């Protein structure tokens, strides 16, 4: 144990997760070397900037965070609108209730912190003060899923979809990338009631080359056409599923890919059409298999009596092992290679079903 | 708000009216509890004078325009005292008092805890203890952001102070210098299981809030003259220390069999007991029985 405690790398890696390492595999883009990830593809890092722009013309917008202004870049809003930015310190429950009180006076508050502390720690404030009251509070839960890697279960949010979709009068939306997040934020301004917006780690690869003009809350986006199966994904898993579809196409398997960005209200028509037209449905999410997107889709199919080859793919009902995020996605088969193997299994099952 | 000074005819008239309205709160609480079959008598009785002083003297509001943006806000942190608040809202003109005859019945707007989406005059839904002060902080910040000058009043129970979120909100109010925020603790000394100090003590209460940056005012919460004096003494600057009123009260005040008895937190009077209690309330507050559990 003593040896484990003396390992010197943990501090370095922790700062990488928060601020972006200078030389890590997912470091911000270095213009000189061309290495790294484009800043615009970092959803959690554009919320502050996007809200600052929206805030120029909408004085109702206020932003709160709980001592994570740099990690979630709400400092970019604070720099432009210092009188409308509130850092409440390490007090997430207080933040959510304060946001609700602000909303009751006519403001549209955006409250941002780790998803684990919005949807789990402040769950009851979210329900009772935001959803039950119909307050237009927008909760930005970033670093959702297991994206905080070796921080471990205390910092993971693999239950937040299940929790939030069980709350009445709470809209639940997952952002797949930076451009979609921009669309979500803009559409949220006049959406009635409270909203939970699930964000990834802030390093999620690009899905949308530009802000999707056809984005509507509650209306799934079809990213790829195909007749052999449908992959329904949300948030951080959408890009990997597009890549999987490309790989399958090389073998003559055509997969429809649906970005189910809105979990509640769920686009049931898109699900039933997929079942009817492709005969096989695979759901993919960075979430516990209990209660998330897969469960929501399964309920929809079962309620409609739709007989279809079906798989839910996500994190098993366990506390995930320690590891860096990329290693965890590989371990739990939530990277493109892992998803592809599950998709091929499902295609096989569909063949037996048909035969 | 400036209330007339002691000794003036205006003040005597006001105090008499508040005394009558506090009695009205207690009588309506007893009546509505009988409709529901169970109710929170004692934690409502301890706040009866505070309710009356707030709604008939201190708060600025417009019953004909419940959403008036510049109204003072009132948050009932201890939402279980709503049974005493509803009759005041009806009496003030927010809604028809006949609606209360359906209190807690299937489909009623009026449950044991208040719902802002269903009841005009309720500024925020409550019931889950510990949230109200945070919500009130948010309202005060909302006033600041929008350049409005309303005050925010939040009544908390003393048992409620066991919720950690109260102290998160207390820190934030001090940090943000929310002088327009007025907290009121209904210090009735009893939570559900007994005396607060024997379960989870809140003392030294004034010193605790002072150490969080609040200006603390202590008052006898059943003495209407003293309550009006405290309201006159509030320093509700837009930027400045938040104001805390610690109102020393007696749980169950006004009905001797309930005074200082934690077992009456929830109850239901039937038969002759009901008539006796109504008659006792009608006769006004009597001197406290020595040796009670309460203040």
Using CB atoms, pick whichever of B124, B128, B176 lies closest to residue A104.
B124
Return the half-sphere exposure (C-beta side, CA atoms, 13 A cut-off) of residue B30: 23
- Check residue A352 and give its pLDDT: 76
The answer to whether residues B112 and B118 touch, using CB atoms and an 8 Å cutoff, is no
At B238-293, the pLDDT tens digits run: 999 999 999 999 999 999 999 999 899 899 999 999 999 999 999 999 999 776 54
Beta carbons of B146 and A94 less than 8 Å apart: no
- Check residue A353 and give its pLDDT: 62
Residue of A nearest to B128 (CA): A128
Q: In what order do the strands lie in the sheet with B243-248?
A: B73-76, B152-157, B181-187, B243-248, B215-220
Average pLDDT estimate for B169-178: 98
Would you say domain A221-354 falls under CATH 3.40.50.920? yes
Count of structural domains within chain B: 1
Q: Which residue out of A94, A107, A124 would a mutagenesis test of the B interface target, given it has the greatest number of B Cβ atoms within 10 Å?
A: A94
Determine if the peptide bond prior to A265 is cis (ω within 30°).
yes
> Does position A37 have pLDDT exceeding 90, yes or no?
no
- Check residue B170 and give its pLDDT: 98
> Is residue B293 in some structural domain?
no
Q: Do domains A39-198 and A221-354 have the same CATH topology?
A: yes
Residue A87 contacts B where some CB pair is shorter than 8 Å: no
Chain A residue numbers with beta carbons less than 8 Å from the beta carbon of B140 are 101
Beta carbons of A89 and B171 less than 8 Å apart: yes
> Which residues, 6 or more positions from A187, have their beta carbon under 8 angstroms from its beta carbon?
A215, A216, A217
Using CB atoms, pick whichever of B127, B142, B172 lies closest to residue A88.
B172
- How would you classify residue B177: left for phi > 0, otherwise alpha for psi between -120 and 50, otherwise beta? left
- Percentage of chain A lying above the pLDDT 90 cut: 84
- Check residue A27 and give its pLDDT: 47
Determine if the peptide bond prior to B222 is cis (ω within 30°).
no
The closest of B56, B44, B46, B45 to B18, measured between CA atoms, is: B56
- Greater model confidence, B264 or B93: B93
Q: In whole angstroms, give the CA distance from residue B292 to residue B92.
A: 34
Residue B45 contacts A where some CB pair is shorter than 8 Å: no
In which band, very low, low, confident or very high, does the pLDDT at A13 lie, cut at 50, 70 and 90? very low
Q: How many CB atoms lie within 10 A of CB B142?
A: 24
Q: In whole angstroms, give the CA distance from residue A349 to residue A347.
A: 5
At A287-343, the pLDDT tens digits run: 999 999 999 999 999 999 999 999 999 999 999 999 999 999 999 999 999 999 999
Average pLDDT along chain B = 96
At B49-88, the pLDDT tens digits run: 999 999 999 999 999 999 999 999 999 999 999 999 999 9
- Check residue A45 and give its pLDDT: 80
Beta carbons of B145 and A83 less than 8 Å apart: yes
Residue A91 contacts B where some CB pair is shorter than 8 Å: yes
A172 phi and psi angles, rounded to 5 deg = -125, 120
Average pLDDT estimate for A33-60: 78
How far from A238 is each of A43, A235, A243, A286, CA to CA, in Å?
14, 6, 9, 10
Average pLDDT estimate for B217-245: 97
Scan residues 246-265 of A and list those with Cβ closer than 8 Å to B: none
Chain A residue numbers with beta carbons less than 8 Å from the beta carbon of B168 are 88, 91, 93-94
Beta carbons of A84 and B123 less than 8 Å apart: no
Smallest CA–CA separation between B77 and chain A, in Å? 12
A199 phi and psi angles, rounded to 5 deg = -115, 155
> Which residues, 6 or more positions from A305, have their beta carbon under 8 angstroms from its beta carbon?
none
**Residue A347 in tokens:** 């295609």
At B12-61, the pLDDT tens digits run: 999 999 999 999 999 999 999 999 999 999 999 999 999 999 999 999 99
Average pLDDT along chain A = 90
- Check residue B279 and give its pLDDT: 97
Beta carbons of A98 and B169 less than 8 Å apart: yes
Average pLDDT estimate for A114-133: 98
Chain A residue numbers with beta carbons less than 8 Å from the beta carbon of B172 are 88-89, 91, 94, 98
Q: In whole angstroms, give the CA distance from residue A306 to residue A298.
A: 10
Exposure of A354 by Cβ count < 10 A (0-12 exposed, 13-18 middle, 19+ buried)?
exposed
Chain B residue numbers with beta carbons less than 8 Å from the beta carbon of A100 are 124, 135, 138
Q: In whole angstroms, give the CA distance from residue B246 to residue B223.
A: 13
Secondary structure class of A183 (helix, strand, coil)? helix
Q: Is the dihedral of CA A268, A270, A276, A281 positive or negative?
A: negative
Residue A65 contacts B where some CB pair is shorter than 8 Å: no
The answer to whether residues B175 and A137 touch, using CB atoms and an 8 Å cutoff, is no
Average pLDDT estimate for B157-168: 98
> Is residue B236 in some structural domain?
yes
> What's the CATH number where B267 sits?
3.40.50.970
Q: Where are the domains of chain A?
A: 39-198, 221-354
> Does position A251 have pLDDT exceeding 80, yes or no?
yes
pTM for this entry = 0.93
The closest of A326, A283, A323 to A153, measured between CA atoms, is: A323
Q: At the fourth CATH level, which superfamily is domain A39-198?
A: Thiamin diphosphate (ThDP)-binding fold, Pyr/PP domains (3.40.50.970)
> Is residue B147 in some structural domain?
yes
> Does position A134 have pLDDT exceeding 50, yes or no?
yes
Q: Which residue out of A96, A98, A192 would a mutagenesis test of the B interface target, given it has the greatest number of B Cβ atoms within 10 Å?
A: A98
**Residue B21 in tokens:** 């309205």
- Percentage of chain A lying above the pLDDT 70 cut: 87
Scan residues 117-156 of A and list those with Cβ closer than 8 Å to B: 124-125, 128-129, 132-134
Which residue range(s) make up the domain with B117? 9-282
């Amino acid at each position: 144990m003593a040896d484990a405690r003396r390992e010197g790398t943990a501090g370095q890696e922790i700062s990488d997760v928060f601020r972006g390492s200078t030389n890590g595999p997912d470091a911000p883009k270095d213009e000189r070397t061309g290495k790294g990830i484009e800043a615009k593809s970092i959803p959690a890092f554009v919320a502050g900037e996007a809200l600052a722009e929206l805030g120029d013309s909408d004085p109702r917008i206020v932003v709160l965070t709980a001592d994570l202004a740099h990690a979630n870049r709400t400092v970019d809003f604070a720099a432009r609108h210092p009188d409308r930015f509130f850092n409440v310190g390490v007090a997430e429950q207080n933040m959510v209730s304060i946001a609700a009180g602000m909303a009751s006076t006519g403001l549209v508050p955006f409250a941002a912190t780790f998803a684990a502390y919005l949807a789990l720690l402040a769950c009851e404030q979210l329900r009772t003060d935001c959803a039950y009251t119909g307050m237009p509070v927008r909760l930005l839960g970033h670093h959702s899923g297991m994206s905080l890697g070796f921080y471990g279960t205390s910092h993971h949010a693999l239950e937040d979809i299940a929790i939030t979709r069980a709350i009445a009068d709470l809209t639940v939306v997952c952002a797949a990338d930076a451009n979609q997040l921009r669309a979500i934020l803009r559409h949220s301004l006049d959406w009635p009631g409270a909203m939970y917006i699930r964000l990834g780690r802030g390093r999620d690869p690009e899905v949308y080359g530009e802000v999707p003009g056809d984005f509507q809350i509650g209306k799934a986006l079809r990213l790829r056409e195909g007749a052999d199966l449908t992959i329904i994904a949300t948030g951080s898993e959408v890009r990997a599923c597009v890549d999987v579809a490309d790989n399958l196409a090389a073998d003559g398997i055509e997969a429809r890919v649906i970005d189910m960005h809105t979990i509640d209200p769920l686009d049931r028509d898109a699900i039933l059409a997929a079942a009817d037209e492709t005969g096989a449905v695979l759901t993919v999410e960075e979430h516990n298999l209990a209660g998330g997107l897969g469960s929501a889709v399964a309920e929809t199919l079962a309620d409609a009596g739709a007989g279809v080859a079906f798989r839910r793919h996500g994190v098993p009902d366990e506390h995930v092992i320690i590891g860096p995020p990329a290693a965890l996605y590989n371990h739990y088969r939530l990277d493109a290679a892992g998803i592809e193997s599950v998709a091929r299994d499902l295609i096989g099952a569909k063949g037996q079903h048909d035969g | 708000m400036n209330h007339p000074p002691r000794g003036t005819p205006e003040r005597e008239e006001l105090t008499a009216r508040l005394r009558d309205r506090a009695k009205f709160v207690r009588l309506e609480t007893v009546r509505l509890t009988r409709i529901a079959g169970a109710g929170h008598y004692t934690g409502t009785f301890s706040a009866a004078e505070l309710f009356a002083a707030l709604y008939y003297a201190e708060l600025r509001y417009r019953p004909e325009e419940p959403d008036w943006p510049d109204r003072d806000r009132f948050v009932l942190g201890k939402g279980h005292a709503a049974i005493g608040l509803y009759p005041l809202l009806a009496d003030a003109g927010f809604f028809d008092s006949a609606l209360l005859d359906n209190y807690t019945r299937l489909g009623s707007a009026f449950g044991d805890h208040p719902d802002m989406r269903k009841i005009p005059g309720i500024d925020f839904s409550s019931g889950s203890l510990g949230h109200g002060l945070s919500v009130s902080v948010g309202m005060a910040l909302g006033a600041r952001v929008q350049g409005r000058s309303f005050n925010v009043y939040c009544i908390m129970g003393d048992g409620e102070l066991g919720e950690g979120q109260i102290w998160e909100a207390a820190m934030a109010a001090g940090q943000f210098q929310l002088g327009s925020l007025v907290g009121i603790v209904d210090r009735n000394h009893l939570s559900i299981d007994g005396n607060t100090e024997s379960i989870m003590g809140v003392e030294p209460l004034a010193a605790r809030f002072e150490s969080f940056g609040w200006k603390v005012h202590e008052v006898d919460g059943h003495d209407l003259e003293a309550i009006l004096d405290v309201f006159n003494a509030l320093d509700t600057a837009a930027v400045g220390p938040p104001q805390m009123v610690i109102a020393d009260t007696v749980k169950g005040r006004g009905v001797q069999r309930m005074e200082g008895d934690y077992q009456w937190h929830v109850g239901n009077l039937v038969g002759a007991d009901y008539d006796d209690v109504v008659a006792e309330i009608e006769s006004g507050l009597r001197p406290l029985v020595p040796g009670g559990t309460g203040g």
